[in-house]
Amino acid sequence: MSETFTSVAQEEAGFRDRTRLSFDLDADICVIGAGLAGLSVALEAARLGASVAVLEGRHIGWNASGNQLGTVMPGFALPLTDLIERIGFEDARELWALSKEGAEFVRSNATEANMPGIALSEGVIEVSNVDAGDRLISRLQMLHEDFDTEVEGWQVDRVRAALKTDHYFHGVHYPRAFQVDGRKYVHGLAALARRAGARIFEDTPVVSIDHSGIRKRIVTPSARLRASHIVLAGNVHLGAPLRRLSETLLPVWRYAGITAPLGERLNEIIAFKGSVMDSDGVDHFRIVDGDRLMWESPETTWAARPQRFAGSVRRRIRSIFPELGPVDITETFGGATGQTVHGMPQIGQLRKGLWVASGFGRQGMNTSAMAGQLIARSILWGDERWKLFSPFELVWAGGATGRVAGQLVGVWGRASSAAAGSLARYRERARAKDREREARLAEANRAAGTGPRRPPANVSPAVRPSVPPGARPRPAPPPQPASGEVEPAPHDGGVSQ
Tens-digit pLDDT profile for residues 29-54: 999 999 999 999 999 999 999 999 99
| CATH number of the CATH domain containing 427 | 3.30.9.10
Q: Are residues 198 and 158 in the same domain?
A: no
Within-domain flag for 448 = no
Report whether 78 contacts 97 (CB < 8 A).
no
Q: Are residues 225 and 125 in the same domain?
A: no
Within-domain flag for 472 = no
Q: Are residues 86 and 35 in the same domain?
A: yes
**Higher-confidence residue: 440 or 279?**
279
Residue 226 pLDDT greater than 90, yes or no: yes
Helix residue ranges per DSSP H, 70-224: 80-87, 89-109, 133-141, 156-162, 182-196
Q: How many CB atoms lie within 10 A of CB 177?
A: 25
Q: Binning pLDDT at 50, 70 and 90, where does residue 13 land?
A: very low
**Higher-confidence residue: 461 or 384?**
384
Annotate 377-413 with three-state secondary structure: HHHHHCCCHHHHHCCCCCCCCCHHHHHHHHHHHHHHH
Q: How far apart are CA 217 and CA 208, in angstroms?
A: 8
Torsion from C-alpha of 292, 367, 190, 16, nearest 10 degrees: -40
pLDDT at 450: 66
Least confident of 14-18, 40-44, 56-60, 113-117: 14-18
pLDDT at 481: 47
Tens-digit pLDDT profile for residues 248-258: 788 888 889 99
Domain tally, the chain:
2
Q: How far apart are CA 262 and CA 321, in angstroms?
A: 13
Q: Are residues 256 and 322 in the same domain?
A: yes
Most confident of 143-147, 419-423, 477-481: 143-147
The proportion of the chain whose per-residue pLDDT surpasses 70, expressed as a percent, equals: 77
Tens-digit pLDDT profile for residues 142-192: 999 999 999 999 999 999 999 999 999 999 999 999 999 999 999 999 999
**Higher-confidence residue: 419 or 6?**
419
**Higher-confidence residue: 358 or 459?**
358
Within-domain flag for 80 = yes
Longest dimension (CA), the chain: 140
**Higher-confidence residue: 365 or 467?**
365
**Higher-confidence residue: 411 or 311?**
311
The contacts of residue 146 (CB under 8 Å, 6+ apart) are 89, 93
Within-domain flag for 461 = no
Q: Are residues 63 and 3 in the same domain?
A: yes
Q: Are residues 162 and 200 in the same domain?
A: no
pLDDT at 229: 97
Q: Are residues 318 and 368 in the same domain?
A: no
Q: Binning pLDDT at 50, 70 and 90, where does residue 489 land?
A: very low
Within-domain flag for 458 = no
Strand intervals (E) in 297-439: 329-339, 346-351, 354-358
Give DSSP secondary structure letters for 128-150.
Answer: PSS--HHHHHHHHHIIIIIS---
pLDDT at 206: 92
pLDDT at 63: 86
pLDDT at 243: 67
Instruction: Kindly report the average pLDDT of the chain as a whole number.
Output: 81
Q: Are residues 216 and 335 in the same domain?
A: no
Domain that holds residue 60: 1-119+180-249+340-397
pLDDT at 352: 93
Tens-digit pLDDT profile for residues 89-105: 999 999 999 999 999 99
The contacts of residue 226 (CB under 8 Å, 6+ apart) are 25, 26, 27, 215, 216, 217, 218
Quick one: 410 exposed, middle or buried, by C-beta within 10 A (0-12, 13-18, 19+)? middle
Within-domain flag for 482 = no
Phi, then psi, of 228 in degrees rounded to 5: -75, -25
Average pLDDT over residues 199-203: 97
Tens-digit pLDDT profile for residues 272-288: 999 999 988 788 999 99
Q: Are residues 174 and 41 in the same domain?
A: no
Within-domain flag for 316 = yes
Q: Are residues 8 and 37 in the same domain?
A: yes
Q: Are residues 14 and 144 in the same domain?
A: no
Q: Are residues 239 and 103 in the same domain?
A: yes
Residue 477 pLDDT greater than 60, yes or no: no
pLDDT at 280: 80
Q: Which helix (H) or strand (E) holds 369?
A: helix 365-381
Least confident of 167-171, 217-221, 341-345, 488-492: 488-492
pLDDT at 430: 66
| CATH number of the CATH domain containing 65 | 3.50.50.60
Within-domain flag for 209 = yes
